[in-house]
Amino acid sequence: MNDNSKIVTALLAGFAAGAIVGLLFAPDKGSETRDKINESLSDLGDAIKERAEEQFGQLNELKDRLIGLVTSKVSEMESIVDDEIEEHA
């Protein structure tokens, strides 16, 4: 996990913890507090889902680049081997 990912994760966790603590000490009725907590947790879940989708997208891009690189190198090697076979045949 890179530094930016760690920072975003820490910010999301801090936001969630702060929201929950703030709601628990708020002078609202229990049902209102529960509704606010549920809403905050839903928002946090959405943010985590969005971040995970971004990370999966980046992993797919890396996978595609690696596959392209390996395919290119395999083609180069096949060409070299074919040339060597032709020279010695």
Question: What are the tens digits of pLDDT across the range 7-28?
Answer: 878 888 888 788 777 767 777 6
What are the C-alpha distances in Å from 74 to residues 41, 68, 71, 79, 81?
49, 10, 5, 9, 10
Look at the block and give the residue holding tokens 């209102």: 32
**Domain definitions of the chain by residue range:** 3-88
Measured distance CA(78)–CA(72) in Å, rounded: 10
Question: What are the tens digits of pLDDT across the range 37-85?
Answer: 788 888 888 888 888 898 899 999 999 999 999 999 999 999 999 888 8
Measured distance CA(38)–CA(20) in Å, rounded: 10
